[in-house]
Amino acid sequence: MPYPRYTDIACSVKTIDWLEAEILGSIASLYRSLARADEDPRVADLANAIIGCYLLAKRLGISYAELDEQINGNIRENIESGHEIERWYGDFSALANHRKGRSI
């Protein structure tokens, strides 16, 4: 017997809240590591925040492909507008090249 519709909605809301907390927890952990001189920023925290954003997007009805397209568009926009980080370091171009090398 299928669960009532309100159960699905409640589960979705709970999942979204949980993902939000996970993303914030990863960011908080990253900030804590940056504040301590004796601890390097954790790659795992950055990775978990990115993964959480992808999962949250899915729960909000945004496909992974749509999110990737938006990310690529934002990167292009920052390159074209001459964002300071792009001018100083070329980071947006490097990121665009990295993303082109992956199968997304």
Give every residue of the chain whose pLDDT is below 70, as ranges.
Answer: 1-6, 38-39, 103-104
Cα radius of gyration rounded to whole Å, the chain: 18
**What is the end-to-end Cα distance of the chain in Å, rounded?**
38
In the block, tokens 């082109």 appear at 100
Residue-wise burial string across 44-79, b where 16 or more C-beta atoms lie within 10 A, e elsewhere: ebeebbeebbebbbeeeeeeeeebeeeeeeebeebb
pTM (2 d.p.): 0.84
Q: Give me the phi and psi of 3, to 5 degrees please.
A: -70, 150
pLDDT in tens, 21-40: 999 999 999 999 888 876 67
Instruction: Quote the CA–CA distance of 100 and 104 in Å, as a whole number.
Output: 8
